[in-house]
Chain A
Amino acid sequence: MMIHHKPSSGAHIGVNKSVGQIMRSVVFALMPATLFGLACFGWPAIFLFIITVGSALLFEAFCLRLKGRAIRPVLDDGSALVTGWLLAMTLPPWAPWWIGVVGAGLAIILGKHVYGGLGQNLFNPAMLARVALLISFPVEMTTWANVSPLFFSQSPGLIESWQITFSGLTQLDAYTSATTLGRIKTEFSQNRLLPDILSDYSAVLNFIGWTRGSLGETSTVLMGLGGFWLIREKIIQWQIPLSLLATVALLATMFHWFDSDHYVSPFLHLNSGALLCVAFFIATDYVTSPNTPTGQCVFGVGCGLLIFVIRTWGAYPEGAGFAVLLMNSATPLIDHYIRPRIYGRDRKGKPLEIPK
């Protein structure tokens, strides 16, 4: 309809913050946690990470090709990189290669381009892919490797790692176990109580990230630092992370106080890299979260509530993704009902009355 080679209206000047720069900032904030995760889980994790991110970029290029758009400038905006990166971070570190490829395909094609590309999608692509994988391949998606850092003698070597990723190791059990949340769920079914189950839980190791979990989100401290940096750089707003974490903490405190044998303490909830990853990096996705500060608070509270419910009573202890997707679908509704008040008008849009 309109082509603007040279806009005649202002603003003629502007901030130098492009989409590419925003995405690169997000990658930068994810970097410490990612590197730590790759170091913790060794070669299989590195293979999986490269495969996932690489296929996300390839799928993006493929979709752009189908659309007949120039590939290079769009890839440069970094949105496919961030999607692939976030997906890789949430995968079990020793998952087979095709999990990464299928996940990236789901995220980029189904999660993004089917809706019309960047900015048009209803659901967070990475979470959509992760949840689809979790439902479709529950075994692969809940096989959590023990911490087995690079260059340690007990860790798998390069050749063994190659086999883990590409041909599927049959003896995986020797290296794997459940995550803390998953184990609590299983042990509950055997009528054990929390103090007993958590006797070997180490808050410090969880804080650092020296624990079983997804590829890049085990470390509470590194995730938290990345998130705070994003807020400080004004890439994301504080509303969603704060309201999300506060809701989880509040609910956890209430239930823990009420029955500490069956409900884990708020500290255990908050001391989880995965929760911080969701709060700072997933739920704050611009495209799929509300526009207004109030709307963002509602969104954060909703996410927090659903996360707590799913983690506590749901069948998927690692199911924060479900919470985010459900709230994503509520975003248009939130934006419809929660809007800023227009100057000179009341909340309903009627002109203000002249004061007498």
Chain B
Amino acid sequence: MLTGLTSTRIRGGVHAEERKANTAIQSIVTDFPLPKTLYIPLQQHVGKPAEPLIRVGEQVLKGQLLAYSQGMISAPVHAPSSGVILDVNDYPAPHPSALPIRMIVLATDGKEEWLKTPELGDPFQLKPEDISLRVGAAGIVGLGGATFPTAVKLNMGRENRIDTLIINGAECEPYLSCDDRQMQERSEQIIDGVRLMLHGMETHRAVVAIEDNKPHAFAAMSAAAAPFTEIEVIQIPTRYPMGWDRQMIRYVTGREVPVGCRSSEIGVTIHNVGTAYATHKAIRHGQALVSRVITVSGGAVARPMNVEVPLGTLITELFNFCEVDIQQTARIVMGGPMMGDSLPHANLPTVKATSGILALTSAELKSTDEQPCIRCASCVSVCPAGLRPLDMANRIRVNQLDAAVDIGLKDCISCGCCSYICPSNIPLVQYFKYASGEVAARQQAQHKSEQTKRLMEARQARLERIAQQQLEDEQARIAAKKARERLQAEQQESTA
């Protein structure tokens, strides 16, 4: 059905050298030594940061709620292991800036004692709303890297009566293989998670889409899904950024998500395979999201691997375990090499979004020797969003940010294809992120000045109103006094 339409359904993209082999051939390592201290950021998701409800010095169990979600779009945070709360304070964030954000520091006691949760019978007897509630309470967010709260997405899917749930097994980023390994080793649990998600959204069709460079994962998932007619497992072409949700939705369903809409509005919701696995754990075993599989790879890593670590593990500990040569490391990247951010140092915690940590040597990196644009238009041909990166960059370079917005800056998905292909080594995505941030800051500043102006005007009006009131009161008082005096005079006259 799809073959004839393939070319029209994939736009742009690049075929990057995969470099997945050395981590994809070995099983997920599960005996990572428990770190002595875990640093758990209160914001590991899109939306509002969670609010802590523990006190320093308190003893907590593994899976115990540490901070509750705030508002409509948010996610709670749980203890990744048992131990004592050391601190709730600001520590450097796993972000290119490494600026401090609020974190809970947990000293582990090594017992790994789980919080007891009541046994659950058949989860398919639960009401669909209860599935979302439990998924939300387990702190599950999109584990592909977007970290959008999963419960919110399940609710939107149910409310919009979607017809198709897509499970994203593309893993199109080079180096990363954590989803590949999970699909090979945990296919039954993932498929169970998919069925639970279907139940939670009251949907009757799921498509698991796996890039055709992962034949083993495809075989395992097909076998696990065989008993369930509502779940279809398909292979999709290997072409970055196939895992971009909107690209995949168009490829699988032929539908295009309009700008400014959620995919559920056109009847589709997309979840990552890791998220499906986390859903299975949350519903079947009552376990919150406290760990994840991370690909540690790159030229400076002596023992590259996929390893399951508790959230909040410092990258330095991962590096020690995987024997990273820090002298050889030219850049530390969190995420994949296409969309990931570089980190200034390794003393930062892993979070729910951390799909990979790469220690790249200078030989692996793209040159940073920036040269003039020769308008070769490679960036135009690889852009999956249909933008013209070179024109946007030219406008940003002369600080015409509004002009850049006019030609599509806000539709940029930062996939990195343009930077990847550019023969002049222009860091285009860097330009676009800078410009987007700057535009947002300017809008905020403008909003703020408008607010200030409005408040000033309101104050002015209020003062005038008060002055007017006082004047009127004064006049009334004077008039009353005069009237009283006249009355008194009249009375005196009449008595006299």
Closest to B365 in A: A12
Pick from A2, A286, A341: contact of B434, CB under 8 Å = A2
A351 to B341, CA, bound (A): 30
Most buried by A among B365, B374, B427: B374
Which residue of chain B has the shortest Cβ distance to A77 in the bound complex? Answer: B371
Residues of B within 8 A of A21 (CB): 423
Nearest A-chain residue to B340, judged by Cβ: A10
Asked whether B256 lies within 8 Å of A344 as measured between CB atoms, the reply is: yes
Known contacts A18-B367, A354-B265: A1-B397 contact under CB 8 Å: yes
Q: Which residues of A contact B445 (CB under 8 A)?
A: none
Say whether A4 faces chain B, with CB atoms less than 8 Å apart.
Answer: yes
- The answer to whether B431 has its CB under 8 Å from any CB of chain A is yes
Say yes or no for B390: interface residue by CB 8 A criterion: yes
Say which size band chain B's interface belongs to.
Answer: 35 or more
Is A68 close to B, CB under 8 A? no
Given the interface pairs A10-B337, A22-B423, the reply to whether A342 lies near B411 with Cβ below 8 Å is yes
Given the complex, which residues of B lie within 8 Å of A1, measured CB to CB?
A: 397, 399
B252: CB under 8 A from chain A?
no
A293 is an interface residue with CB less than 8 A from chain B: yes
Contact A7 B376 (CB under 8 A): no
Q: Contact at B377–A292, with CB atoms within 8 Å?
A: yes
Known contacts A8-B341, A11-B338, A342-B259; decide if A18 and B388 are in contact (CB<8 Å). Answer: no
Residues of B contacting A10 in the complex (Cβ-Cβ under 8 angstroms): 333, 336-341, 414, 416, 419-420, 429
Nearest-CB residue, chain B, relative to A23:
B374
Q: Confirm or deny: B366 has a beta carbon within 8 angstroms of a beta carbon on chain A.
A: yes
Q: Counting CB contacts under 8 A, is A138 at the interface?
A: no
Binary contact readout A331-356 vs B (1 if CB under 8 angstroms, 0 otherwise) = 00001000111111100010111110
The residue that A9 contacts in the complex, of B341, B373, B399, with Cβ under 8 A, is: B341
Tell yes or no: A72 within 8 A of B by CB.
no
Q: How far is the CB of B94 from chain A (nearest CB, A)?
A: 12
Please judge, given known A-B contacts A10-B429, A12-B331, A355-B255, whether A345 and B366 are in contact too, CB under 8 Å: no
Is B383's beta carbon under 8 Å from chain A?
yes
* Smallest CB separation, A186 vs chain B (Å): 40
B259-A344 in contact (CB<8A): yes
Residues of A within 8 A of B11 (CB): 343
Give Cα distance in the complex from A19 to B421, angstroms: 12
Within 344-399 of B, Cβ neighbours of A (below 8 Å) are at: 358, 360, 364-368, 370-377, 380-381, 383-388, 390-391, 397, 399
A13 CB–B CB distance under 8 Å: yes
Cβ-closest chain B residue relative to A293: B381
Residues of B within 8 A of A291 (CB): 375, 377, 380, 388, 390-391
A287 within 8 A of B: yes
Residues of chain B contacted by A352 (CB below 8 angstroms): 256, 258-259
A79 CB to nearest chain B CB (Å)? 8
List chain B residues, Cβ under 8 A from A12. 331, 333, 337-338, 340, 342, 358, 360, 364-366
**Cα–Cα, bound, A4→B331 (Å):** 14
Annotate A1-38 by CB proximity to B: 1 below 8 A, 0 otherwise: 11011111111111101110110000000000000000
Q: Across the interface, do A344 and B257 meet the contact criterion of CB distance under 8 Å?
A: yes
B4 contacts the other chain (CB 8 A):
no
A120's nearest neighbour on chain B, judged by CB, is B372
A11 touches B387 (CB 8 A): no
Question: Does B48 touch A at the CB level, under 8 Å?
Answer: no
Pairwise interchain contact A354-B258, C-beta atoms closer than 8 A: yes
Cα-based distance from A9 to B366 in the complex (angstroms): 12
Q: What are the residues of chain B within 8 A of A7 when measuring CB–CB? A: 342, 368, 419, 427, 429-430
Is A119 interfacial (CB-CB < 8 Å)?
A: yes
Set B16, B368, B374, B433: member contacting A5, Cβ < 8 A: B368
Question: Using Cβ atoms and an 8 Å threshold, which residues of chain A touch B371?
Answer: 18-19, 77, 118
User: Is there an interface contact between B370 and A351, defined as CB atoms closer than 8 Å?
Assistant: no
Q: Is the Cβ of A18 less than 8 Å from the Cβ of B374?
A: no
Contact (Cβ within 8 A) B411 A344: yes
Please determine whether B384 and A343 come into contact, CB atoms closer than 8 angstroms: yes
Contact A8/B430 with A1-B399, A286-B375 known, Cβ cut-off 8 Å: yes
A–B pairs, 18, beta carbons within 8 Å: A7-B429, A8-B430, A9-B341, A9-B342, A9-B419, A11-B338, A11-B417, A12-B338, A12-B358, A13-B338, A13-B420, A14-B421, A18-B425, A19-B374, A119-B373, A340-B383, A342-B408, A345-B258
Top 4 closest pairs, chain A to chain B, by CB? A14-B366, A8-B96, A11-B416, A10-B416
What is A's interface to B at a CB cutoff of 8 Å? 1-2, 4-15, 17-19, 21-22, 77, 79, 117-120, 237, 286-287, 290-293, 335, 339-345, 349, 351-355
Known A10-B429, A291-B377, A339-B407; further 19 A-B contacts with Cβ < 8 A: A1-B399, A2-B434, A7-B429, A7-B430, A10-B339, A10-B341, A11-B420, A12-B340, A12-B364, A14-B366, A18-B425, A22-B374, A117-B372, A118-B372, A343-B385, A343-B386, A351-B260, A351-B261, A352-B258
